Amino acid sequence: MAETLRDIALYHSECLVEKSQKGDNHAFGKLVGLWFKRIYNVALKYFGEHDLAMEVTQRTFIAVYNNLDSIKEVKSFKYWLYKVAINQCHEEERRQKRRTWFSIFQSDDAKRMEEVNFQPEKEFQQKETEEIMGSILKTLPEEQKVVIIMKEYEGMKFREIAETLGISENTAKSRLYYGLKSLRKTIENSGLNLQYNY
Amino acid sequence: MGTEDFNKDLITYLYDEMSTEERQQFEIAMENNPELKREFEELQEMRKGLAQIRDKEVMEPFFLWGKNGAASLGNLFKRRSLMMFRPFIAVAASLVIVLIIGYLTNFSINYKDKSLYIGFNNENTQQEGMFTQEEVAQLVNQEIAKNNAYIFSKLSETENSFDSRFAALESSQKMPDIPSYLDRDVVTRKELDVFLSNVRSNNLKVLKTYLESSSAQQQDYFQAVLTEFSDYVETQREEDLRLIRRSLINLQETQQTQKEETDQILASILTTVNNQEN
């Protein structure tokens, strides 16, 4: 049976999890090295802010380390890891909302989003498409945003997304559909004419 | 087939998760339904837009794994709670920098006599204990006026004293009685000589007494002047010594400050060099 690099990486992760559960900190360090970039990029797309993404990624791996024993099926480590990361994102989102009193010092991204919503087309054209897309993605409802990130950037199957989030495949598809439609609507309402680089 | 089913199939087709048979059926349905095809193209366009967001490279921070749990050094130093106060920290840091620069450049602002003095190195500011040219002239004039008044009062006292002494002397020195023979029309030569001799000796006595008195008075006066001059010299000397001492202290303080500044600069250079070597 031909194995893809992805399968090899997953198998390697499972071995590292088993070793980590036996108290091998070196193995856990390797596991972090293997997944850190992926989880960071999930968080980065979720928040669109490096500091927050780093914070969430670090919290995720600390939570993983502290709960290694609760993993019964090492094969489902990947889903479990994404679940922890998404939970950390939600928690951080809630923390951010609690800090709304501090809104006078809003982040650059928040300001950028205001511009996306209210500034004319000329303003947009000067910005990078990537930056604008990231800002628009951030504005989606959490449920839709998470599914888009998992499908579009993490390349997960609908079955895997459903397993990770504890929802049905149809729900995952529905969230993705409405998420994409919502993104398109935001872009149309903003009068953006994005030029894509392939 | 309902709209929801179409939407789900559209998404499944869009992400290539259909079986070959399902795919063929859906493509036929799409050919017969322009609306569905248009929606598919829109979603595909949206996917191209999302593909613009690329993964970012990131360096994983240093973690501490232990029996009692895990911690990240990055987490310790970059807490959101601290970041929340970042603007305040930035303002405070700016203030500290301004204060340090102000201290190093001796920046000072003084408000005195309806005048605002702003300057560096104290060159343009009026230091404590320093006087302007006008103030010095005023002080000198006051001292001269005081001195003149004192001298005039002393002279007046001396004059009065002389007058009183002279009067006393005059009253004590009676003119010799005019002999009875001067009432006569004819006076012998001998009688006249005796009379003149008496007058002369009397005059000599008066002059001698006057000179003695005057000499004693002058002696007293000079003694008083010398005493006052001595006091003045002594006071002036003490004032000069105080000024010299203050100047020496200022010089010492300036040297100390310069030494500290030099130490700070050297420490900064050493740190920079060490960082570059590392």
CB contacts of B4 in chain A (<8 Å) are 174
Q: Supply the pLDDT for residue A198.
A: 47
Tens digit of each residue's pLDDT (9 = 90 or more) over A63-106: 999 898 888 888 889 899 999 999 999 999 888 887 765 555 55
Tens digit of each residue's pLDDT (9 = 90 or more) over A159-170: 999 999 999 999
Alpha-carbon span B66 to B79, nearest angstrom = 20
Tens digit of each residue's pLDDT (9 = 90 or more) over B32-67: 989 989 999 999 989 988 888 888 888 877 776 665
Encoded tokens for B31: 């050919």
At position A31, the amino acid (one-letter code) is L
Q: Supply the pLDDT for residue A1.
A: 45
Interface of B to A at Cβ within 8 Å reads 4, 7-8, 10-12, 15, 17, 42-43, 45-58, 60-61, 63, 65, 69-72, 74-75, 78, 80, 83-84, 86-87
Tens digit of each residue's pLDDT (9 = 90 or more) over B13-22: 999 999 999 9
CB contacts of B11 in chain A (<8 Å) are 173, 176-177
Q: Supply the pLDDT for residue A72.
A: 85
Q: Supply the pLDDT for residue A172.
A: 94
Q: How many residues does chain B have?
A: 278
Residue A68, Ramachandran bin (φ over 0: left; ψ between -120 and 50: alpha; else beta): alpha
Alpha-carbon span A12 to A34, nearest angstrom = 9
Out of A57, A153, A173, closest to residue B12 by CB: A173
Alpha-carbon span A166 to A159, nearest angstrom = 10
Tens digit of each residue's pLDDT (9 = 90 or more) over B200-259: 998 899 899 889 988 998 999 999 999 999 999 999 999 999 999 999 999 999 999 999
Tens digit of each residue's pLDDT (9 = 90 or more) over A5-27: 666 777 788 888 998 888 888 88
Residue B267 has pLDDT above 70, yes or no: yes
Top-confidence residue, B31 or B175 = B31
**Minimal-distance CA residue of chain A relative to B69:** A66
Would strands B69-72 and B63-66 be described as parallel, antiparallel, or unpaired?
antiparallel
Residue A141 has pLDDT above 70, yes or no: yes
∠ CA B74-B80-B85, nearest 5°, is: 120
**Minimal-distance CA residue of chain A relative to B53:** A130
Cβ-defined contact of A133 to B52 (cutoff 8 Å) = yes
ipTM field: 0.77
